[in-house]
Chain A
Amino acid sequence: MIVFAYTRDLLLGLWIVFKRTFTKPVTVQYPEERPYLPPRWRGRIVLTRDPDGEERCVACHLCAAVCPVDCIALQAAEDPTSYDRRYPEFFRINFSRCIYCGYCEEACPTYAIQLVPDFEQSEYARRNMVYEKEDLLISGTGKYPDYNFYRVAGVKIRDKDKGGAENERPPVDVKSLMP
């Protein structure tokens, strides 16, 4: 009898829901309890420094280019005291547009830009969602404590000549190469 089957199912549904009275709610009472965020959680964006304490960002614009919502703006400049070392004159992220996709972190060749486990970015005024370089730059190295772009790449800077990087030999002098 289909009527009895339906009735049984309806009552069974009621019973299953009623049993929930005795289970603990799954809610995390947020401001008092905090959820565990894994280290690779994609949250607030920071600009890190290399182990020497210099800015890692070389203003290559790769993050700005890859950003799907175009929320990164920066202007490249050259530091006259350290030869060709490039740095961003300003670096601005509009967090009201950022979708925390992490593409900028993936694109960055120097590990400068990193997403960290922090989501508490609420603001009362919308313009406060725009973070300038001072707000983004931190004093540490973030997730990659040993990586130093200029000590790996072959570019010449103030205290490192060409070929002076790790795993690099001095460049061959072509003019001295005799047959």
Chain B
Amino acid sequence: MIDWGRTCLITVTMLGGLLTLASLLIWVERRLLGIWQERCGPNRVGPGGILQPLADMIKMFTKEDWIPPFADKVVFVLTPAIVVVTTLMTFAVVPIAPGFIVADVNVGILFFLAMSSLAAYSVIVGGWASNSKFAFLGSLRATAQLISYEVFMGLSLMGTVALAGSFSLTDIVEAQRGLWFIVPQFLGFIIFFIAGLAETHRAPFDVPEAEAELVAGYHAEYSGMKFGMFFVGEYLSITLLSAMIVILFFGGWHGPVLPPVLWFLLKTSVFIALIILIRGTWPRLRFDQFLSFSWKVLIPLALINLVVTGGIVLARNG
């Protein structure tokens, strides 16, 4: 049966850890981008600037929390919570180490896909409720992106599911004890990575919030802590994306010498850094380019990957 005390402990640890991590990532991203652009980044508040998120938070809390008079008030206020809540809920099925998981459901991948689709609503609805043209354009673009990446995101994971023979994330990690799925599922990894970047609205797929053309896109009208929620949500989804990549393709907690938790955190940090590096390097795609790329290239590739993997699994099981 469910051990309530243990579950509560894990939940609290995860929540505390994740929220700290998300706010720390604000500093980490700015610092790393600075280093990669031959600057310093924020280095004034606290040792090495590590207290910068705290200063940012004080600033956000003391700012005027403005709700535009032309916005749809209720939806406008509720939206920022959606992205944070759904992302945090997805972490419930993320196995960090053997037994260190809030809810070991047997359809973990489906839960993850469902929650990530829900998180996309915050972008669409938030932009729509703002009732201004930039926010509206942002959510239009988000919708256009959504109908492409959601398709191949699910498809790219099915190869992994076929190999592991289970939808449960714990089983998938266990199935990678010998060989990480990055080797047999390299194509699936690339496609999932692209889909994940599009889902977190990170460069080079950050068209919904493209600062250069749309001010801030879907969250242009948000201020104060509501804007902060979108921010925290973005960093949470980066963490989630990295964690999912590690679980699905890089063997989760498996690794020599170090304890499983450390391995998991290490691999996740590498991918977080990679996502930040990509933001610092690659230019943004136009969203019609992304649409045609995903429908004409990625979806066929994902289908081929699924069919080939399915055939191999079938042949092996005879």
Binding site for B on A (CB under 8 A): 10, 13-14, 16-18, 20-21, 23-27, 29
Contact call A21/B282, Cβ cutoff below 8 A: no
Measured between beta carbons, the chain B residues less than 8 angstroms from A29 are 40
Main secondary structure of the interface of B (DSSP, over half): helix
Measured between beta carbons, the chain B residues less than 8 angstroms from A27 are 38-40
Contact call A21/B39, Cβ cutoff below 8 A: no
Interface size on B, residues (CB 8 A): 12
Partner of B38, one of A13, A18, A25: A25
Contact call A14/B39, Cβ cutoff below 8 A: no
Asked whether B281 is an interface residue with its Cβ less than 8 Å from the other chain, the reply is yes
Measured between beta carbons, the chain A residues less than 8 angstroms from B115 are none
Binding site for A on B (CB under 8 A): 34-40, 277-278, 280-282
Contact call A25/B282, Cβ cutoff below 8 A: no
Contact call B278/A14, Cβ cutoff below 8 A: yes
Nearest-neighbor residue (CB-CB) of B283 within chain A: A13
Contact call A25/B39, Cβ cutoff below 8 A: yes
Measured between beta carbons, the chain A residues less than 8 angstroms from B37 are 20
Contact call A21/B36, Cβ cutoff below 8 A: yes
Measured between beta carbons, the chain B residues less than 8 angstroms from A26 are 38-39
C-alpha gap A23/B40 in the complex (Å): 11
Measured between beta carbons, the chain B residues less than 8 angstroms from A13 are 281-282
Measured between beta carbons, the chain A residues less than 8 angstroms from B278 are 14
C-alpha gap A21/B35 in the complex (Å): 6
Some 12 contacts from A to B, beta carbons below 8 A apart, are: A10-B282, A14-B277, A14-B278, A16-B281, A17-B277, A17-B281, A20-B36, A20-B37, A21-B35, A21-B36, A23-B38, A25-B40
Nearest-neighbor residue (CB-CB) of A3 within chain B: B297
Number of A-B contacts (CB under 8 A): 33
Nearest-neighbor residue (CB-CB) of B37 within chain A: A20
Measured between beta carbons, the chain A residues less than 8 angstroms from B38 are 20, 23-27
C-alpha gap A21/B31 in the complex (Å): 11
Contact call A17/B40, Cβ cutoff below 8 A: no
Contact call B280/A25, Cβ cutoff below 8 A: no
CB distance from B290 to the nearest CB of A (A): 15
C-alpha gap A21/B277 in the complex (Å): 11
Q: 12 new A-B pairs (CB below 8 Å) besides A14-B278, A17-B280, A20-B38? A: A13-B281, A14-B277, A14-B281, A14-B282, A17-B36, A17-B281, A18-B277, A20-B36, A20-B37, A23-B38, A25-B35, A29-B40
C-alpha gap A14/B203 in the complex (Å): 13
CB distance from B300 to the nearest CB of A (A): 13
C-alpha gap A52/B39 in the complex (Å): 49
C-alpha gap A177/B282 in the complex (Å): 87
C-alpha gap A25/B42 in the complex (Å): 13
Measured between beta carbons, the chain B residues less than 8 angstroms from A10 are 282
Nearest-neighbor residue (CB-CB) of B280 within chain A: A17
Partner of B35, one of A14, A16, A20: A20
Contact call A25/B281, Cβ cutoff below 8 A: no
CB distance from A28 to the nearest CB of B (A): 10
Measured between beta carbons, the chain A residues less than 8 angstroms from B34 are 25
C-alpha gap A29/B43 in the complex (Å): 10
Nearest-neighbor residue (CB-CB) of A31 within chain B: B44
C-alpha gap A29/B49 in the complex (Å): 13
Contact call B40/A18, Cβ cutoff below 8 A: no
Nearest-neighbor residue (CB-CB) of A24 within chain B: B38
CB distance from A70 to the nearest CB of B (A): 35
Measured between beta carbons, the chain B residues less than 8 angstroms from A23 are 38
* A-B interface, 6 closest residue pairs, ranked by CB to CB distance from nearest: A17-B281, A27-B40, A20-B36, A13-B281, A25-B40, A17-B36
